[in-house]
């Protein structure tokens, strides 16, 4: 720790959050959180950013999933 800190440029109040981001409280299993923290530590980056990327990847993978299943079922029915 420093002996003295310069707070002359400090501002009071809440920390500004980037537009498009929302602060939430979420409960994650300890092993999941530990894994992401370890990955961030070993490979650099931020564990929260990595979790966000994983969630976004899952959203993309699920996009259109219902339509694909319905098309597959309809094709099977049409061939039968």
> Tens of pLDDT along 39-49?
999 999 999 99
The pLDDT value recorded for residue 33 is: 97
CA distance 36 to 41: 9
Question: Does residue 48 lie in a domain region?
Answer: yes
Question: Does residue 5 lie in a domain region?
Answer: no
Q: Pseudo-torsion of CA 13, 14, 20, 25, nearest 10°?
A: -170
The pLDDT value recorded for residue 67 is: 84
Please give the tally of structural domains in the chain: 1
Question: Is 0.85 topped by the overall pTM?
Answer: no
The CA–CA distances, whole Å, from 57 to 9, 54, 70 equal 40, 5, 22
Interval 14-24: pLDDT, tens: 777 788 888 88
Question: What range does the domain containing 34 cover?
Answer: 30-79
Burial of 32 (0-12, 13-18, 19+ CB in 10 A): exposed
Interval 42-78: pLDDT, tens: 999 999 999 999 999 988 888 888 888 889 999 999 9
**What does the pLDDT average to over 6-17?**
84
Question: Does residue 70 lie in a domain region?
Answer: yes
Question: Does residue 37 lie in a domain region?
Answer: yes
């Amino acid at each position: 720790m420093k002996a003295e800190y310069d707070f002359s440029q400090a501002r009071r109040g809440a920390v500004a959050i980037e537009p498009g981001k929302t602060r939430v409280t979420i409960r994650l299993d300890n092993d999941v959180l530990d894994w992401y923290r370890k990955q961030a530590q070993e490979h650099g980056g931020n564990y929260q950013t990595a979790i966000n990327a994983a969630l976004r990847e899952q959203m993309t993978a699920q996009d259109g999933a219902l339509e694909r299943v319905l098309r597959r079922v309809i094709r099977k029915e049409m061939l039968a």
